Amino acid sequence: MSPRARICPALSAVLEGLKLARRELAGSEADAPRRRWVSVALVSALQAGLVAALSGYESAGEGDVADPSQPDRIAPVALLLRRARSAEYLNPPELLELPGRVVRDIEQVVTARNSVLHRPDEAENPPVNEAFRSVLQVLQQVCLTHPSFPVKEHGVMLALIRDEISALQRALAPIG
């Protein structure tokens, strides 16, 4: 699949991840364990958002989003995030410049996601709202504020993503 052809499915995955995160966050008010799934949904959305960002340039290649150990698979979030923060892959303003706190927040959400998927029997405290907001901040930047891909052909999808990010930010604000 060409890098440009990855953008539309990636944005669709961002939207689906955000919708799932919002649904699980709302459901966690009545059923607290559902909050664990917010991490799973946000990491999926973040991975897809980073794929879209790293696929936006004309010079983007298959290897920009591939996992070096398994080239037929998408790289894990940590590697995609490192690439999106590297001038080798993106130029300002698309280049992600994140404070250490945001990177640590994202690592916390990824760890929680891994716990849910790989150790479901272990009880772990879900990330605090600030960590979730950090993921949303990165998604806002790569999809809406400074996308590396042409936005005209994705206007409706980006509007829906904007709505979901806004709704999640509002849902997280009073709790945090």
Return per-residue pLDDT of the chain as tens, 176 residues.
777 789 999 999 999 999 999 999 999 999 988 999 999 999 999 999 999 999 999 999 989 999 999 999 999 999 999 999 999 999 999 999 999 999 999 999 999 999 888 876 665 666 789 999 999 999 999 999 999 999 999 999 999 999 999 999 999 986 44
Q: Give the pLDDT confidence score for residue 176 in this predicted structure.
A: 41
| Amino acid at the residue 51 | V
| pTM as predicted | 0.94
C-alpha to C-alpha distance for 136 and 62, rounded to whole angstroms:
26
Q: Residue 72: count other Cβ atoms within 10 Å of its Cβ.
A: 7
Determine the pLDDT at residue 89: 97
Number of domains in the chain: 1
Instruction: Pull the structure tokens for residue 3.
Output: 């890098």
Instruction: Give the residue ranges of DSSP H helices in the chain.
Output: 3-27, 36-54, 77-84, 100-118, 129-139, 155-172
How much is the pLDDT for 74? 96
pLDDT for the residue numbered 44: 98
The boundaries of the domain holding residue 130 are: 3-172
What would the two tokens of residue 91 be? 């130029």
